[in-house]
Structure 1
Amino acid sequence: MNARILQTLEFQQVKNQLKPFLTTAQGHLALTDLVPSNKKEKVQQRLLETEDSLHVLRLRGGIPVPKLENIVPHLKRIEIGADLNGIEVAQIARVLSSTKEVHDFFEELQENDIELYRLYDWVEQFVVLPELTKKMSVSVDEDGRVTDEASPELKAIRQAIRRMEQAIRESLDQLVRGNNAKYLSDALVTMRNDRYVLPVKQEYRSIFGGVVHDQSASGQTLFIEPKQIVELNNRLRQQQIAEKNEISRILSELSALLVPHRREILHNSYILGQFDVMNAKARYGKMMHAVVPGISEENNVQLLKARHPLIDSSVVVANDIFIGESYQAIVITGPNTGGKTITLKTLGLLQLMAQTGFPIPVEEESQIGIFNEIFADIGDEQSIEQNLSTFSSHMTNIVSILEKIDEKSLVLFDELGAGTDPQEGAALAIAILDAVGSKSAYVMATTHYPELKLYGYNRANTINASMEFDVDTLSPTYRLLIGVPGRSNAFEIAKRLGLSQDIIEEAKQIMSGESQDLNEMIADLENQRKMTETEFLELRQQLNESDKLQKELTKATDLFYQEREAEMAKARKKANELVAHAQEESERIIKELRQMQLEGSAKPIKEHQLIAARTAMADLHQEDLLKKNKVLRKAKTAKALKPGDEVKVTSYGQRGELLKKVGNQQWQVQMGILKMTIDESDIEPIATAKEATKRIVHTVRSQDATHVSPQLDLRGKRYEEALAEVDQYLDAAILANYPQVTIVHGKGTGALRQGIINYLKNHRSVKHFEFAPANQGGNGATIVQFK
């Protein structure tokens, strides 16, 4: 991508907006080198990384990359054999520990089945060095001080130094107290030249003997090392020299340990810098309410509610910008200060941002193209040094652009053909647009020339556009109207400002007929657009009402069918009871007839006659709808009684437990110490109430989940009030199905923090809790994970 377009569209200003979100020196370097790419695969990877980072930001507050310094110079020094100082070793140790922390962070995300497109691939490039990380962290603290645990020798030396200092202080304290205090300017112990001394009045210098190391500005006070502690100071100095030598040896040893791993550490630092930039993109996107756009295979740009990122969001006007699918050239006409140039820059800048992997301030479902180059001729580029006029400067730039464009180029022309005779300028503008179109490049151009309005109307793959102007308020609305050319509105504005109607009519007569027809055509188009918008709003209102009515009818129909089936089921049940009674009677009669036949007391009855009679009676029985309806049959099976179920016996109003089935319609029920045989129609399962409760709880969860914050801030709360609030908050978070939450309690005296820790230890739903990472509050906040 050419450097000129980055400067013209102020791309660096957008990058500057990301800088406050960076925490590492490597991230700042990576952002400085970040430029748009014209490779589709690269752009796709960058956008997916940004999508992942936004996802992690929503779930966990971002990737835990802490503040890191640039360690590249340190690694170059040890490569040539130099030893690092404590601060340099601490900075490298910080990179090592951060590598492990970020690696473990993403491992936890994987264990929780958090899906990401690209970030796991970056994590696999980490080289975690646990032993080296532990050695560095134990040996040097974050301030670069070599710790006592760095070596047994250093620990012993420092213990000896502390004992020696204690002995010296005790000896000096004895000199300071008592009768000797009158010889001192102040009853205190101080240091000069790394040795303990007393501030003695000048006239008593011989009282203590020893060595004079310094004197006050007035000369009235001498800082004397008493003879009693000269030998102790000498031995202390020897131990201090031994400490310094041991520290130098340890730092040299640590530097040597880093040498074999310098490439891995450098690469880890690079990856942390990349994660830092991804974090910054995500936080920038959240601040700007930006989204990650899709990529059009056919290079069809579709920016919905696009906003210029460098204009205050409270005043910027969002516009829909389309180019590529139905037309590859847009000609925007209209008066000055209407927003034409901003629209031009918005298209170019958002395209540059997206091809760099930034989220852009547009609505969901927006998409971009991938352009090899973006060119622009915007603004007054008159060159005094080269003695070029405004027109000459523009033409020089346009000539250069025409030599480089192809079918994958986007060209932005501001006031094309301006700066010369109107007729010649308009002709040149048309010819230039034809030249761009002949190479199938994409182009958006702004102009004042009325001839280009007809050009946009007549040329294929070209469309007119304008910036809306409110004649009533005599001010622009900054809305882009695609398909409608702009007009000057001079006559309407003059009329509203009080110019005589006679003068306006005379001006219309003087105006050429062609121009008058053009303005009338534009006015008709605007009227048609407004009528279409009105019809669209009316149709949308009708559609909404139709959808509402359709939902109500569907609900009513479902309710009708449910009630109908219930009534039919009742009727079938009643009919079946009658038929069952009739069958019993028929069986009794048939049995009697057969008995009579066997006894020979009646006329012989043939067996097939008896079977036919029984079959005819059985055919009267109504088929249960459940046998044909799979859904209802499944629901009945799910609610079927079974041994062990808890039920309510309605006739007694008592609860009991089913023991076994003792007949077709009877069960043995245990009620307290009694066992009774109860008819199935007298039994109600209690599980139905539990299921209904579950459904209610689930509904409450789904409704309240969006109202529970993933973070609780307790700072400034009293102890008892805070613990009560934690108890209520954890219940709400569990109902909201949060996997984890953050409790901010501050550092303070530590009482509130310890109280919360004790409470979390005994909470049955807490799986794990730990202090937040350093860049998210450290031990001033606790992250709680639920089971």
Structure 2
Amino acid sequence: THYSNLKVAAQKHKGLINGAMLFDSKEMKPLYKLQIGNPGSSFAFEIAKNIGFPTHVLNRAKQKSGGKHVSFDQQLQQLEIDKIVVDKKEKELESKDVQLSEMIEKYSNLLGDVKRNKKQIIEKARQEAYEIVADSNKAIENTIKEIKEVKADKSRTKDIRKKLIEKKDSIKNKLGSTKVTEPKQDSLENINSPITIGDYVKIKNTDIIGELINIEGKDAMVDVNDVKLKTTLAKLVKTNQQPNYKSTFRSRRNRQNIMSEINEKAANFSLTVDLRGKRAEEALSILQKYVDEAILLSMHDISILHGKGDGILRPLIRDYLKTIEEIKDFGDAPLDMGGAGITKVHFH
């Protein structure tokens, strides 16, 4: 039925259930698929507009049908959009849940290995310490005994003390010397100097360190163990830390690991970020990290779900997007994909 009161009645009364024939509102054609559980929209005004009905006729029809009917129809359309978003989130959640279970199992195994190794190391150190202390006590007792036997003969006492010192040095060698190397502090003078080709740089909000190999205007190319990453100078921080690539084999393995990590991030990257209900500062912080990651992974487009609400987030988000040079354009999503409640972003 296209009669709204019947749709409402089916929702309120037991024994009745709504159904809807699915419709492609973008192409303006029926899909001939039945969906049970929710009422559908008739898309009457959209279809009429699409086939060329005069605007004044449509406006008159909306007035005749009443604001409640139009509002109800729009709510049905929004409900369908929300359902699509929820279904997508549900699939993403299932995937993340599987990954989380695998990670928990992996780290549980690693933790078990660490505990076992820790116990063995402590036991070995305890035994070695016991042997060293026992050896030391024995040496001291023998020294005291010899001094008493020679009755404080100066030359003999001197020889005995020399032996004790030699024994002390021997014990020191057994204990070994542990040098604590303090981490090098980045020179403020070096860090604050302009970034130039050949400098080691770190990409903001990541642990990626590489060598800057090219600069074109505000764009930059970073070599991370033979993997070329394109980004902007604004996202780079100069550092004195250097990546440790010691051998060809290890370099190849590191490069494979980096590419594997990038591919995994790209595969698990969600093309939609939901900022609804977030405070302005929190939403902007989440958006900055999300856009940076999208650029790093060379995504072509993303969607930002902010809702219509009272319009606080929408202008804040768009003002920020205007500052990103990698963005080609952005605007409202199509009506059937969320309309003004979602901002669609396209990258160069």
The answer to whether TM tops 0.5 is no
Q: Quick check: which has more Rg, 1 or 2?
A: 1
TM-score by length of 2: 0.34
